[in-house]
Structure 1
């Protein structure tokens, strides 16, 4: 009996210790630093109390599916699940595969061997060497511009549906960021060989092809010659992670088809847009928006990235931090996507600090605007029109909150952040839905801004 109590207390200390260790590693983590460690949720799920929260989410999603299944059985006598939305958003898959294959081939071979030829042919000196480097820099810039322009042109030419267009554009950005990291790190080795890097994971020699190939598929955007690796592949973890990705995808489709689309349909069926209908629709989108965000975050940042990390034996699983404990917008954006944050910090933020003579606040503002522009670029290409929703909402509003409340702390601020998140997840999609619907309605239809300024002064009795 005493042995059983001792074992129980040991298990409790081990579970508590795993959580505390995760917290310590996150607190002292540096951007671009790679150390063998598990993802935060992996550590937290060792605690049965935290694991119970996940079980509660699973039970809720099961009830959500059962609700629609029972409703269909009562009204139709069979499941009435349609996949029209899926067929509309995933079409011309063969064109998408061809575009991705060409991009990947060029990124794999053209970029590496082009950089290798430049590095091994620098046998000049003085002005000729500078002209030689400038020539190859121009080639690099032209390649990156081509990687920006050509996929966008192909998406527009073949009118790829939403999911396929998003796949091409996100893969395009992933490869562009990885190419920049690889070229940047190796250019530093070649141009300034005397300045040895303080990073032990970067050698002084030009990287080998197998190192570059591994980096292209590793779940990071920051290139290093050596990453911490695990000794074995745990195939049960691989199947578990990708299995959860599949389940999460089904749940996402369910949320979009049965909770989002009925609200979006109002934008296309209501010929008159009124202030009350706008407010009602935004509130109706909040809960589905939260479900979409939670499922998407867990499915991609935890399951998808951990699945690839396990396959590649990539030991640093810090793909996110505890964004749910954030008390400021800056902390939230730094915490929820570590993969992109590391790239922005290493290759944008640090360079801007040097450019602005150490002005960290101005550098941080520029990074926020740059990130908002990238998001806006993705949405513009996918939807086929340019809007400034992301720039205004996440760029200007996020920048304002960052300036006014840079180091806010406490439970109240955490509640404010957790309240603003559902609002953002409802407002942004609704604005895009309004923009799309406005392109299908007659020109005499009132726009959102007409409603805000024309009807905004109505009395409460009229509303």
Structure 2
């Protein structure tokens, strides 16, 4: 029954290019359902063939790496070196994660203490505002404690890219979960409603959702075959992205900054060369995190609701895309930022605040991961992304095919820019000589190396060719 409803909803969306608001609300609660790609791959031979194409590309790329290294260097490199470099100093990363988890677990006894204090003050309603302030201050203190040490440690001594990204993403994940638990259980501490058990609290910390509920729909068994399959997909995609980085990104940017000058044509050629590996990495990252990784954890924890995303790839409106791309984060932003402030600020300002908070969070993750502040994603997501929401609100509904094409064009160009500018800055900070003007916040690639045109560069009007032929 549920699957039929989902299929009918997506059929309606394909015909109209938009999902009615009533249907959006209908699917907010947790129910047992599979992820959209799971349904599509199981039910459509065409989608399964596309999946096989990506697997074959990975296999061909794997053999390309092995054969090239065997012929050129006399040894076999299957990508383990670059993966190990990307997740370097993993022990320090595990220690930081352990600290974050310890702080998150500490919230539960604090909730118990807060409920115990609330039981004494329940007879005095005048004390309730003070108790609310105390509770908010306690949550803020726990959040700051959780974030302060990882931020300080990553700022003091940078981890490898993969390790620092994992630590930072986990930091934000736990911080959002603590907000959700506090929002749900804080009032219960004052009203005398029983708190969840510690077992359920721990379950929520690992469950693939950011919304707290006392109960979630659960499956009856754990299909360990699916768990292993999804974890193998995660490992394969990690190698896949490392291959893309090693074969298509590093050849263009690894020497950036070693020479004092670089021709503009070289930069343009490199940026366009990064478009395809950039968008492939974009799709692989989506599949790895929001499908394979979350489905593996959902299966291990018998978490029944697997709707971590929706059919974002067929939409023609950016507002719908942002809701469907990552329903896990979108639902948290909706429940804990948008809905509480919208009655006071209005829908437009509340939407802008949500975009701003999300863009800043993404930028913090990238800054702590790379070791420098370079707000490329902030401009693309927090500025251009916000502008595209009203521009595609009505036109995307009227011309769904055209604006779906425009949306994908934006994905290709945007990822090509991201996979060019961030590596340029990353290698510029490695290759360029140190300067007294070096700063965490000022991009070094803007001044080193100097971008020049070819000495004999001239512009020839293509229309002059027709004039010469006429004469």
Query: Would the TM-score normalized by the shorter structure come out above 0.5?
Result: yes
Contact 1:273 1:446 in 2 (8 A): no
User: Secondary structure in 2 aligned to 1:247?
Assistant: helix
Would the alpha carbon gap of residues 424 and 206 (structure 1) be closer, same or farther in structure 2, given more than 3 Å must change? same
> Paired residue for 1:116?
112
> What root-mean-square deviation, in Å, do the aligned CA atoms of Structure 1 and Structure 2 show?
3.0
Note the residue ranges of structure 2 that are not aligned, 5 or more in a row: 14-18, 438-442, 462-471
Deviation, structure 1 residue 340: 0.7
Return 29-38 or 39-48, whichever deviates more.
Answer: 29-38
Would the alpha carbon gap of residues 406 and 460 (structure 1) be closer, same or farther in structure 2, given more than 3 Å must change? farther
Would the alpha carbon gap of residues 375 and 246 (structure 1) be closer, same or farther in structure 2, given more than 3 Å must change? same
Confirm whether residue 242 of structure 1 aligns to residue 224 of structure 2. no
1:316-365 superposed Cα distances (whole Å, 9 cap, x missing partner): 00011111112122222221211111101111111221221xx2222212
Would the alpha carbon gap of residues 336 and 207 (structure 1) be closer, same or farther in structure 2, given more than 3 Å must change? same
Confirm whether residue 230 of structure 1 aligns to residue 240 of structure 2. no
Deviation, structure 1 residue 261: 1.7
1:156-212 superposed Cα distances (whole Å, 9 cap, x missing partner): 33432222211211111110000000000112334567xxxxxxxxxx532222221
Contact 1:36 1:229 in 2 (8 A): yes
Would the alpha carbon gap of residues 421 and 414 (structure 1) be closer, same or farther in structure 2, given more than 3 Å must change? same
- 5 Å-filtered alignment, 1:67-82, equals 67-76=64-73, 78-81=75-78
Q: What TM-score do the two structures reach when normalised by structure 1? A: 0.85
User: Secondary structure in 1 aligned to 2:149?
Assistant: helix
> Paired residue for 1:102?
99
> Paired residue for 2:34?
38
Confirm whether residue 254 of structure 1 aligns to residue 243 of structure 2. yes
**How many Å separate the matches in 2 of 1:107 and 1:306?**
23
Contact 2:79 2:243 in 1 (8 A): no
User: Secondary structure in 2 aligned to 1:233?
Assistant: coil
Confirm whether residue 221 of structure 1 aligns to residue 219 of structure 2. no
Q: 2:408 aligns with which of 418, 426, 430?
A: 418
> Paired residue for 1:8?
none
> Paired residue for 1:56?
53
How many matched pairs? Answer: 434
User: Secondary structure in 2 aligned to 1:121?
Assistant: helix
User: Secondary structure in 1 aligned to 2:309?
Assistant: coil
> Paired residue for 1:373?
360
**How many Å separate the matches in 1 of 2:69 and 2:164?**
33
Tell which has more relative contact order, 1 or 2 (C-alpha 8 A, sep 6+): 2
Confirm whether residue 396 of structure 1 aligns to residue 383 of structure 2. yes
**How many Å separate the matches in 2 of 1:387 and 1:72?**
34
**How many Å separate the matches in 2 of 1:424 and 1:396?**
13
**How many Å separate the matches in 2 of 1:413 and 1:266?**
38
> Paired residue for 1:387?
374
**How many Å separate the matches in 1 of 2:12 and 2:187?**
29
Contact 1:22 1:40 in 2 (8 A): no
Would the alpha carbon gap of residues 249 and 172 (structure 1) be closer, same or farther in structure 2, given more than 3 Å must change? same
Q: 2:432 aligns with which of 441, 448, 455?
A: 441
Deviation, structure 1 residue 294: 1.8
1:284-333 superposed Cα distances (whole Å, 9 cap, x missing partner): 11111122122222122111111110111101000111111121222222
> Paired residue for 1:151?
150
Deviation, structure 1 residue 422: 1.6
1:205-262 superposed Cα distances (whole Å, 9 cap, x missing partner): 3222222111000000010010011111111111111122122222122111112222
Q: 1:339 aligns with which of 328, 340, 354?
A: 328
Contact 1:22 1:43 in 2 (8 A): no
Return 429-438 or 169-178, whichever deviates more.
Answer: 429-438
Would the alpha carbon gap of residues 392 and 449 (structure 1) be closer, same or farther in structure 2, given more than 3 Å must change? farther
**How many Å separate the matches in 2 of 1:446 and 1:364?**
34
> Paired residue for 2:138?
139
> Paired residue for 2:420?
430
Would the alpha carbon gap of residues 117 and 24 (structure 1) be closer, same or farther in structure 2, given more than 3 Å must change? farther
Deviation, structure 1 residue 70: 3.3
Q: What TM-score do the two structures reach when normalised by structure 2? A: 0.84
**How many Å separate the matches in 2 of 1:271 and 1:156?**
29
Would the alpha carbon gap of residues 22 and 213 (structure 1) be closer, same or farther in structure 2, given more than 3 Å must change? farther
Deviation, structure 1 residue 405: 2.2
